Amino acid sequence: MRRASAGAFMFCLLPIAASAQKPAGRLRGAGEPGPMIVERIHSGFLVAPDVKVTEVDKKTSELVGGYAGWVTDDTIFIGGGGYWLANQSRDREMAYGGLLVQWLMHANHRFGLSATGLLGAGRATLATPVSDLIARGDLRGRIDRPAEAHGAHEHHRPFPRGFLVAEPEADALVRLTRHLRLTVGAGYRFTSGRDDSRLRGPVGSLGLQIGGGS
């Protein structure tokens, strides 16, 4: 009888012993937390020299410049950019710059896309008919001789003016190396100010992105 009782007692302890010896790497239940996964965040400083082909004062023109700033997680770029008219002359100059924000998609892949927005201000000098300047009051006090004023419609004068600028752009990205991408894009430059119709126009760009977090 004692042997039978002892056997029954040992039989009851078997499930408890088996549970205590269950391996640590067992399958998780539905409500148990999973393992911690650590992923590297790709962030870093980026410099991008850029060349633009655009229209200034109804003429095809080239702008040189670029932008620089910080890329976070290969997705958001925040920095500043500036551009200058390459083929400028005494009566035809333009430069502008400002805050530049860019959203990158698949920047760490072979091919990617980006959407860029520049918001800032600039200054331009364009040859303007003297008669127009007189009519607007821009040359008030600068023309003293009646003969010069009488023949003003026959002359042009370089006249500087400031303007605000907003330039959205979409780009295709081609990854050449880990830290070098080729960019090809198109956009439009909107301006607000005196003679803004002579300063705004479509923009095509070709550039390089150097650095970043990829």
- pLDDT tens sequence across 131-187: 665 656 555 545 544 444 444 445 767 778 899 999 999 999 999 998 899 999 999
Asked if residue 170 belongs to a domain, the reply is yes
Q: 2-48, pLDDT tens digit by residue?
A: 454 445 444 444 444 444 444 444 444 445 555 655 445 578 999 99
In a domain, 27, yes or no: no
What are the Cα distances from residue 144, in Å, to 27, 118, 151? Answer: 95, 42, 13
> Looking at the domain assignment, is residue 17 inside a domain?
no
Residue 139 lies in a domain: yes
Single pTM value for the model: 0.71
Q: Is residue 110 part of a domain?
A: yes
Looking at the domain assignment, is residue 29 inside a domain? Answer: no
Q: How many domains does the chain have?
A: 1
Assigned domain for 32 exists: no
Q: Which residues contact 140 (CB under 8 A, 6 or more apart)?
A: 134
Domain enclosing residue 128, as ranges: 42-211
CATH number at residue 200: 2.40.160.20
Question: Is 22 part of any domain?
Answer: no
